[in-house]
Amino acid sequence: MPAEYRLILKHLDEPGYEPTLACYLRHGGYSVLRRVLALEPRVSPEGKTLSPQEQLRQEVSLSGLRGRGGAGFSTGMKWSLVDRKSGKPIYLICNADESEPGTFKDRQIIHKDPHQLLEGMVVSAYANDVHLAYIYIRGEFPQGAKILNQAISEAKAAGYLGKNILGSGYDLEIYVHRGAGAYICGEETGLIESLEGKRPYPRIKPPYFPAVLGLYQCPTIVNNVETLCAVKHVIEMGGAEYAKLGTPNNTGTRIVSLSGCVWRPGYYEIEVGKATLRDLIFDPAFGGGLRDGRKLKAIIPGGVSAKVFKAGEKVKLKARNADGREVEQEVDVLDLPYDFTSLIAAGSMSGSSAIIVLDDSVDIVEALANISEFFAHESCGQCTPCREGSLWMAKALHRMTHGEGRAMDADYLARIADNIPGGRTICAFGEACSWPVQSFVAKFKEEFVAKGKADEERRSASRQPADVPSAP
């Protein structure tokens, strides 16, 4: 039986659990930090002396932890790329800009268990010799910002943050920086520009890899809220032990945000890959199935930028059979384990782990129009293909949902979408705005064509002048 595995969410929904320091301490809070600050240099089996910081980074690498923000990049790898020889300060930024439509997991942590995030941040900052860190929180979380500020002052007063943390001689300041409603600030280089007080225009890579040239052109680590919380658990359990959770290359736990046409929308923490899409949507422990006896039509598996799955779609996956040979297996999308690799292999992604379920009452053209309007609104406007393309697609879809469709619109949309991504834009927003269009139009083409055709026929019928005699 698939079930939740609550590691990060362990306490936050317990009755009486509060976002206060006292409550966090009662639940064993900051004990990992205490242990971390007491670490001594250790000699590795190879005879190399490892500093406490190196030991911590090694545990994170060993854990196989992958970023929970969207790209799924290895956290250990991200940390290992940091330029530690430049002599410049290293910054840590917590990306709390949670704005991929469908995602609402970081909101829970920020509002209900802010100290867990702070502990994860202090541990991560210590591991990377960081003395100044920021939490970039989206502007639409004003309460979240207040709660975090309150938690920071509590932690500082109690010596878990600020100067000489717990008497260790280690200093760290964390400040909360509020965004102001722009989705592109979730892109790490856009976020950095925003934090520098500029428009959040993403920077081009190379050369602007944050690990080398980030905030103020200094080495910078940008990690998601859930990732930083996971670091706390990695250090608590040990990297090897953490890696036993989940499946190989998809280790640990993940908080899945489930929304749309299901009985029980909500956030569910699972061992990565230990529940399938079918479990998450239909199992009573999770989504509990579709409402009102409806049938499944489509699944957006990783936030609105992920490519859509059509109900009944079959995908080919590589698997190993009993004697270790690689074989190709055909599986229904519903039977895909919810992890990073399977969803990518199936042509989509788990992204920010946000699943939106669409049932057969949903007009697929309307759904895509809604998504495209979002992207047209949020394109930063820096690169022409994205700035113009996202708007053209939204305009065409607006026409289609207002009785002005054409049969050729499906091909028209696909052609625009095909010309935005693939290195034509500075950041991945180009991909994000075209993937839904490409996948919706490819997988539900008949609905787009039928809608356009119906509009054309209706228009041509109403254009018939009344006084023209009908043909003999």
Instruction: Closer to another protein by CB, 300 or 413: give it.
Output: 300
Tell the smallest beta-carbon distance from residue 449 to another protein (Å).
23
* The one-letter amino acid at 386: C
CA angle 128, 132, 137 (to 5 degrees): 105
Interface residue with another protein among 148, 298, 304, 394 (CB under 8 A) is: 304
Q: Does 360 bind another protein (CB under 8 A)?
A: no
The binding track of 107-136 with respect to another protein, each residue x by CB under 8 A or -, is x------------------------x----
Are the C-beta atoms of residues 458 and 411 closer than 8 Å to each other? no
Token match 């009985």: residue?
A: 263
Tell the smallest beta-carbon distance from residue 281 to another protein (Å).
14
Interface residue with another protein among 117, 133, 229, 371 (CB under 8 A) is: 371
Q: Does 439 bind another protein (CB under 8 A)?
A: no
Tell the smallest beta-carbon distance from residue 245 to another protein (Å).
24
Are the C-beta atoms of residues 352 and 69 closer than 8 Å to each other? yes
* The one-letter amino acid at 54: E
What torsion do the CA atoms of 78, 84, 90, 94 make, to the nearest 10 degrees?
10
Question: Using CA atoms, how far apart are residues 261 and 292, in angstroms rounded to an integer?
Answer: 9
CB atoms within 10 A of CB 217: 13
Interface residue with another protein among 55, 95, 99, 353 (CB under 8 A) is: 99
Question: Using CA atoms, how far apart are residues 320 and 72, in angstroms rounded to an integer?
Answer: 24
Q: Tell me which stretch binds another protein (CB under 8 A): 22-30, 275-283, 330-338, 370-378.
A: 370-378
Question: Using CA atoms, how far apart are residues 432 and 434, in angstroms rounded to an integer?
Answer: 6
Interface residue with another protein among 28, 41, 142, 312 (CB under 8 A) is: 142
Helices (H), 216-308: 225-237, 239-242, 277-282
Q: Does 177 bind another protein (CB under 8 A)?
A: yes
Q: Tell me which stretch binds another protein (CB under 8 A): 54-62, 100-108, 158-166, 463-471.
A: 100-108
Task: Scan residues 244-273 and list those touching another protein (CB under 8 A).
Answer: 257-261, 265-267
Q: Does 433 bind another protein (CB under 8 A)?
A: no
| 458's tokens | 């209706």
Q: Does 373 bind another protein (CB under 8 A)?
A: yes
Q: Does 181 bind another protein (CB under 8 A)?
A: yes
| 395's tokens | 């305009």
Q: Does 283 bind another protein (CB under 8 A)?
A: no
* The one-letter amino acid at 462: S
Residues 6+ apart with CB under 8 A from 117: 94, 109, 110, 135, 148, 225, 228, 229
Token match 């509590």: residue?
A: 154
Q: Does 195 bind another protein (CB under 8 A)?
A: yes
Interface residue with another protein among 15, 45, 169, 197 (CB under 8 A) is: 197
Q: Where on the chain is the footprint of another protein (CB under 8 A)?
A: 98-104, 106-107, 132, 138-143, 173, 175, 177-183, 194-200, 216, 257-261, 265-267, 300, 304, 354, 356, 358, 362, 367, 370-371, 373-374, 377-378, 380
